[in-house]
Chain A
Amino acid sequence: MALAVVPPDAEQGDVQRLMYVHVPAAWLAFLSFGVVFAASIAYLRTGQIRWDRMAVASAEIGVLFCSLTLFLGSLWGRPVWGTWWTWDPRLTTTVVLLLIYLGYLSVRRVADSPSRRAHWSAVIGVIGFLDVPIVHMSVVWWRSLHQEATVVRPGAPTMDPSMLATLLLGAVAFSVVYGYLMAVRMRVGRLEDSAAGSLMRRPTPRAGLVAAAPRVDGGEGRG
């Protein structure tokens, strides 16, 4: 649809078609990070390892689509805005968001035990998400006080119905992809855990210092 059905944009021509991938990718990135937040809270409350698997699966997908968003936006910005990058609040917030979740993934590699890894990343999942609104607000203010050459967004105030339909279809399609990737990634996570569990019997986690120790249900991997 994005290539065949929709007419090219009046001012931007065919480049504008990138929007049908860019916007759904951005939507998916935000959805993913929201899921990381919810799953992190659920993990901290229940201590069930499946919430951790869900959080990391969603974080990886979020990082992927956040990078895709920035990359496509940059490709689009070059011909339309005349620059790869501009310090627009939305762009800046998105790149900070990407860095926060790259930090999330890198901390997972530092932890020395699975339950510690789960606890740490859940804490980062919560703190990182809480940080996003305040990052966005400060970046918006920072921009509005810094009067430099602002790249004017070429206005497309009204959208052709076929464009809107394509965009919505894109969002739905990407959400389906998200569901599929989540299912695959969580299955991989389960299999990883059960493989690790069968290779070496991990010592059972000590009784938690603050809350209950997590239940490592590594054996439920489906073939």
Chain B
Amino acid sequence: MTGSAVWAVAGKDLRAEARSKYALGSVLPFAATMLLAFGFALGPDRVLLERAAPGLLWLAALFAAVDLFHRSYQAEADAGALDGLVLAPLHKGDIFLGKAVAAAVQVLVLVLGTGLIVTVLFGLELSRAPLLLLTAVLGVAGLSALGSLFGLLTVLGRRQAALPVLLLPLVTPVLIAAIRATATLVEGSAGVVGWLGVLAAFDAMFLAAGYLVFGYLLED
């Protein structure tokens, strides 16, 4: 693993995002729309909404993130950028880590924005903020690891629909652990460490696995 290569790939993606503002300009409003729809589905019961808030936060973030992962590789497919990336003298695992880091930064922005909307709409209590932030970072890392791995298939394959079908079951542990950790922190009850442990284990396992197998996905 070469740090500079990872940062070069990540930096490139983040610069592209800074210029296009896709995550903020289009994906965040999508998440907001979804949260509003969740609100309509559940009705205006304050207590119910507060209980559902952590789950809705992560669900909205997850669905919006799937779009981001797709977008991250769509940008590579335009004008043959992907070929350039593949031919660059980098370890394929470093390309994966770079893409994952850039995706994670964007999804983190997305989660924080979504969290703000959930706080306003559903009355989520933002107590124990440092631990909530840690939950967000660990959860986002897990989503981005698998999202950046399989997002590649959306541009190499013929259809985009395969990404959610593949990704959603695989990220079940992230979804459960992030939602439970958030709920635990918001309710102020104990037991958050175990959930953060699950998230950390998932992140380590799939960042490592992604690093090792990403090159195989690029072969043809």
Contact A107 B157 (CB under 8 A): yes
Q: Which residue of A lies closest to B213 (CB)?
A: A123
User: B158 — which chain A residues lie within 8 A by C-beta?
Assistant: 110-112
Contact A138 B166 (CB under 8 A): no
A211 partner, pick from B86, B156, B170, B216, beta carbons under 8 A: B216
Q: How far is the CA of A135 from the CA of B206 in the complex (A)?
A: 13
B166 partner, pick from A103, A145, A213, beta carbons under 8 A: A103
Q: Size class of B's contact patch? A: 35 or more
A142 close to chain B: CB less than 8 A? yes
A35 close to chain B: CB less than 8 A? no
Q: Which residue of B lies closest to A110 (CB)?
A: B157
Contact B157 A112 (CB under 8 A): yes
B198 close to chain A: CB less than 8 A? yes
Contact A103 B92 (CB under 8 A): no
Q: How far is the CA of A205 from the CA of B216 in the complex (A)?
A: 14
User: B146 — which chain A residues lie within 8 A by C-beta?
Assistant: 127
Q: How far is the CA of A106 from the CA of B164 in the complex (A)?
A: 11
Q: Size class of A's contact patch? A: 35 or more
Q: Which of A14-22, A26-34, A94-102, A193-201 lines the interface with chain B?
A: A94-102
A139 close to chain B: CB less than 8 A? yes
Q: A residues bordering B, Cβ < 8 Å?
A: 44, 96, 99-100, 102-104, 106-107, 109-113, 115-116, 119-120, 122-124, 126-128, 130-131, 134-135, 137-139, 141-142, 145, 205-206, 208-211, 213
Q: B residues bordering A, Cβ < 8 Å?
A: 86, 92, 146, 149-150, 153, 156-159, 161-162, 165-170, 172-173, 176-177, 180, 191, 194-195, 198, 201-202, 205-206, 209, 213, 215-220
17 contacting pairs across A/B (C-beta < 8 A)? A102-B165, A103-B162, A103-B170, A106-B161, A106-B162, A107-B165, A115-B219, A127-B206, A130-B205, A130-B206, A131-B170, A141-B194, A145-B191, A205-B220, A209-B86, A209-B215, A210-B92
